[in-house]
Amino acid sequence: MKLIPVPAFSDNYLWLWQSGTDAIVVDPGDAEPVLKALSDQKATLRTILVTHHHADHVGGVAALQAATGARVLAPAAEGLGFDHEPLSGGDQVEMLGLTVQVIDVPGHTAGHIAYWIPDSPLGPVLFCGDTLFSGGCGRIFEGTPAQMLQSLDTLAALPADTLVCCAHEYTLSNLAFAKAVEPANAALLQYDAACQAMREAGRPTLPSSIGLERLVNPFLRSRERSVVEAVQRHDPAACDDVSVFAALRGWKNHFK
């Protein structure tokens, strides 16, 4: 099996997962780079998975559906302009001989879902769209901070070796913020140096893993004393789990 982050736009990854000559694509915001990757890999697209309704995640769905006849699976609770089989948390679907579990992760958008494959030849794999990024999380556009915190708690509870396939290469800018929050986090400093080297070599920093994100990602660490204290220096009114998380997200929104 091959798991390939197909780059698109300025910083999206359209994940292509291939088994033999069959392939799945996740969040194809653009059809052209996916069709090129399929022809390079001599693979046939069987299934399109969608995590949420934003254009950079769905822009290529209709064209790929028309070109390949692939099955389209997408969230039930998002407004989408293409034919699809609606999914929501707790649903389970089979593809490429694998069982895929659907997890509700509202926050970035109201109906955002993630796809978790607990048992694959590569180990457990997560496609989390714009909910969890390496070193960060998505902006809260439609949901509440409480929903986003709950969604990230659910993802953080997955097995440590779960490969995290995020939809954007935001890692270095996320880690710059993470270092402002936790300047003494040794795992974070080490990971940041490794990611800088990967980007200088022109390589993706993804997939990450849940175990690594628990060590370096401030949005999965918002109950750690070091993170709470940093947030409270920034926003003294933040006191409980949700208000600390909300203040952390607000701080990141304005961080340069």
54 is catalytic: yes
C-beta closer to Zn ion: residue 78 or 130: 130
235 is catalytic: no
27, 30, 54, 84: the catalytic one is 54
Q: Supply the minimum distance, in Å, between the C-beta of residue 55 and Fe ion.
A: 9
User: Of Fe ion, Zn ion, none, which one sits near residue 169, judging by CB under 5 to 8 A according to partner kind?
Assistant: none
57 is catalytic: yes
**Which residues of this protein are in contact with Zn ion, per CB under 5 A?**
54, 130
The residue type of 13 is Y
User: Of Fe ion, Zn ion, none, which one sits near residue 249, judging by CB under 5 to 8 A according to partner kind?
Assistant: none
22 is catalytic: no
Q: Supply the minimum distance, in Å, between the C-beta of residue 54 and Zn ion.
A: 4
27, 30, 57, 192: the catalytic one is 57
Q: Supply the minimum distance, in Å, between the C-beta of residue 130 and Zn ion.
A: 4
52 is catalytic: yes
**Which residues of this protein are in contact with Fe ion, per CB under 5 A?**
56, 130
Q: How far apart are the first and last CA of the chain?
A: 39
112 is catalytic: no
168 is catalytic: yes
User: Of Fe ion, Zn ion, none, which one sits near residue 84, judging by CB under 5 to 8 A according to partner kind?
Assistant: none
* Cα–Cα distance measured from residue 28 to residue 206, given in angstroms and rounded to the nearest whole number: 17
Q: Supply the minimum distance, in Å, between the C-beta of residue 237 and Zn ion.
A: 29
84, 108, 112, 192: the catalytic one is 108
Task: Name the residues annotated as catalytic.
Answer: 52, 54, 56-57, 108, 130, 168
